[in-house]
Amino acid sequence: MCEQLKEPNTAVDSPYPLRGFEADLIHELEKLVADLPDGTAHLRISRAPGHPEWAEPYFEVIPTNPRAAAFKGVAVKTDLNLTIGAAAWREFVGFARGGTVVKGATWQEEFRWIWLAVVKGGFTEHIYRDSAGKAIGWATKLSVNGTDLIIRNGRRTEKLFGREKLESITYEPCV
């Protein structure tokens, strides 16, 4: 079983998940993390860092292998904001109501498939940087139950002076 870290139980730090999807997603994540071998990852549940006014639950699964991808996000009503790896994030609008990548899948099935793809590793994240070295875009592709889940946002490259600055991170398995 994995070590679970919870933030201090104060009114400011504690998330207030709504009954339904928000609470169910956290419960589902706790089960997935508990299925990992001991010492594989740490689960942290809190409010979103830097946003104490948000009552929604923020979760972060930090693998003990520094070359494995992190898995973090926020559940908001029926939506899921998910970050995989260093920076690649995607908002799944209506995730609890069928806004899934694999047609006909329940959110629980798809969440588990995304989790398994991240834990398995072997995918690459591309981070595009501007001339000052600041990340301006990122892209990654996971195979989710045979369907490609592409997470891409920001600009692909900035080539003002010289060659583009691209950082590629290939993630290892969490387990």
3-class SS string, 70-125? CEEEEEECCEEEEEECCCEEEEECCHHHCCCCCCCCCHHHHHHHHHHHHHHCCCEE
If residue 145 lies in a helix (H) or strand (E), which one and from where to where? none
**Per-residue model confidence (pLDDT) at position 61:** 96
pLDDT category at 111 given cuts 50, 70, 90 is: very high
Tell me the whole-structure pTM to 2 decimals. 0.83
In a domain, 116, yes or no: yes
CB 29 within 8 A of CB 4: no
Q: Please say if the pLDDT value at position 33 is more than 90.
A: yes
Instruction: Assess whether pLDDT exceeds 50 at residue 64.
Output: yes
Residue 109 lies in a domain: yes
Residue 152 lies in a domain: no
CA dist 27 and 57 (Å) reads 11
- Phi, psi (deg, nearest 5) at residue 134: -80, 135
Domain containing 44: what range?
Answer: 3-121
Say what the pLDDT of residue 156 is.
64
How many structural domains are present in the chain? 1
Residue 97 in domain = yes
In a domain, 107, yes or no: yes
Q: Has residue 111 been placed in a domain? A: yes
What is the token pair recorded at 5?
A: 């870290």
Q: Residue 76 falls within a domain, yes or no? A: yes
> How does residue 135 score in pLDDT terms, banded at 50, 70 and 90?
confident
Residue 159 lies in a domain: no
